[in-house]
Amino acid sequence: RGGGGTVLNDVWNDASAVGSVFGMPEVQGIVHSLVGEDPLYDHHAVHIVRPQNEVGQIWHADAIIDLRMHFDIQFFYFSHDTPREMGGTMILPGSHYRRVCETDIARYQNFLSQLPIACEAGTLFVVHHGMWHCAQPNLTDQTRYMFKLRLNPTVRQCKLWNTDDIDTAPIHGILGRNHRWYGNDVRLEIVNRIKQWRFLIGDESFDVGYWLSRLENTPENAQEAA
């Protein structure tokens, strides 16, 4: 198996367990829509939470401070039923624009709107590489397994998905959504989302209301004398 930077299609064959999951048309659709048809394998890991482990993992992001608009994706695959008490991964929606260095956020315990992954066997989650997350305590008598895979893009991430409904989809409402943990910083998050959406659609004029346009108003022309 190749190391980081290997074309994903060269890492696992279709007959392998991993290859059969990530070769599914639905999963291929996710991959192609976010990182292109020939992404690079970054790394994978099997994350385990032992039975009767009452201590959860610290909050962290799988990245150093990364200011790129380009992004990797991470898959979290749960091969068995993972009820809440088994310690599914906790994620914090909307946290990927808070660029942090790995465990800078370890001192935090709980957030409003945090989302525990409690799911059935075969569930696959996909997140931005900067998403804050942490494994949860496992209060059962069984080991909790989770397979993680990170992929890198090889093409410009611009309109890689089906955009047939892009003019009718409720984009402005989605970009203006307030995850409760933002508090008064929601305006900053809306601007970050606008910047990301511009990158994804290749339109530097897109805005929600006047949020980003006002920040770009930097006139250089001199005042004419009366």
Q: What is the pLDDT of residues 5-52, one digit of tens each?
A: 999 999 998 889 999 999 999 999 999 999 999 999 999 999 999 999
The upper half-sphere exposure of residue 134, i.e. CA atoms within 13 Å in the direction of its Cβ, equals 21
Q: What is the pLDDT of residues 139-152, one digit of tens each?
A: 999 999 999 999 99
pTM: 0.92
Phi–psi pair at 118, nearest 5 degrees: -115, 120
Residue 106 contacts by C-beta under 8 Å, 6 or more apart in sequence? 58, 59, 60
CA distance 146 to 46: 6
Q: In terms of CATH, what superfamily is 6-152?
A: q2cbj1_9rhob like domain (2.60.120.620)
Q: What residues does CATH 2.60.120.620 cover in the chain?
A: 6-152
Residue 21 contacts by C-beta under 8 Å, 6 or more apart in sequence? 27, 77, 124
